[in-house]
Amino acid sequence: MVRPNQYHIVVEPKLEAIKNLRKQGLSLTNIAQKLDLKLGQLTYYRKSFPDLDDALNTPPDEVKQIERSAYFNRQKNYNSLRSFIRTQSTSEERQEYFRLILEKADQTEVRRFKAMISDFEKQRNA
């Protein structure tokens, strides 16, 4: 009885995820880490399995288009949120936004925010 190839068990079920991650512009190393695969598996099987090679070869134009679109959407959402916070948000909403920002911040950012608040208070009191 022939033992099934590890490609069909380990890699093949993840082909769609590989395509999607590649379209997002992730490197092979990042894709392997994200999907709990070994980089060596991807590079080895890529030579023997055309469907894996196709999944890993996202056309550069498509990647650039996706990046441009993501950048545009990010800018649009940022500007919209910024405008909302400045003109329409309540004190409670601003407090919630600030809490969310602090949740994601590392200690360096927190120190920088504290310095910004201190500078702002000095300017306001001057």
**34, 23 contact by CB (below 8 A):** no
Q: How far apart are CA 51 and CA 57, in angstroms?
A: 10
| pTM for this entry | 0.46
Q: Where are the alpha helices (DSSP H) in 3-125?
A: 6, 15-23, 28-34, 39-48, 50-56, 60-87, 91-104, 107-125
Over residues 79-114, the pLDDT tens digits come to 999 999 999 999 999 999 999 999 999 999 999 999
Q: Which amino acid is at 110?
A: V
How do the pLDDT tens digits run along the chain, 126 residues long?
A: 445 678 888 888 888 998 888 888 788 888 889 888 888 888 888 888 888 888 888 666 776 777 788 889 889 999 999 999 999 999 999 999 999 999 999 999 999 999 999 999 999 888
Give the residue carrying structure tokens 């120190």: 111
Q: How far apart are CA 69 and CA 123, in angstroms?
A: 39
**53, 46 contact by CB (below 8 A):** yes
